[in-house]
Amino acid sequence: MSRTIPISTDVFAAIWAKREEGEDCEDDILRRILGIAGSNKDDQPRQRVHASGGYHDRRNNVHFPQGFEIFRTYKRKDYRAIAQDGNWLRLDTGDLYSTLNQLNTSIAAGAENVWNGNWKFKDESGTIHSIDSLRR
């Protein structure tokens, strides 16, 4: 069973700064740091493939339909990715990432909250929004 706890941005960044290879979520990082055996990956994965495809972030209860495109600019370079079969496909490299955090880390140096407004999408009318608006 998962729980949501409010933490400050600096604590969130500090947790992700302690991330080691193979740790895909805060729970994995904290389990290692706190010496707690096991993993929650079998209990409640953070994303899964829906029958319609795409990507579903369980933690934030946001579903990105198959082919949903997100984009960001980092150091004056534009990056795009699409939701594809439970992963994020980075369009410039063709690499797949199983979480938004992994996708973001492949672009930006250091820990960063992916919901902070850097990742955006265009709605049907062409208006640009932060992906954070999908959580509300």
User: Rg for the chain (alpha carbons), in Å?
Assistant: 15
Give the model's pLDDT for residue 69.
97
Q: In this predicted model, what pLDDT tens digit does every residue of 89-119 receive, in sequence order?
A: 999 999 999 999 999 999 998 788 999 899 9
Whether residue 40 lies inside any domain: the answer is yes
Neighbour count for residue 103 (Cβ, 10 Å): 24
Neighbour count for residue 40 (Cβ, 10 Å): 15
Q: Are 47 and 36 in contact (CB under 8 A)?
A: no
* Number of domains, the chain: 1
Range(s) of the domain holding residue 17: 9-135
Whether residue 112 lies inside any domain: the answer is yes
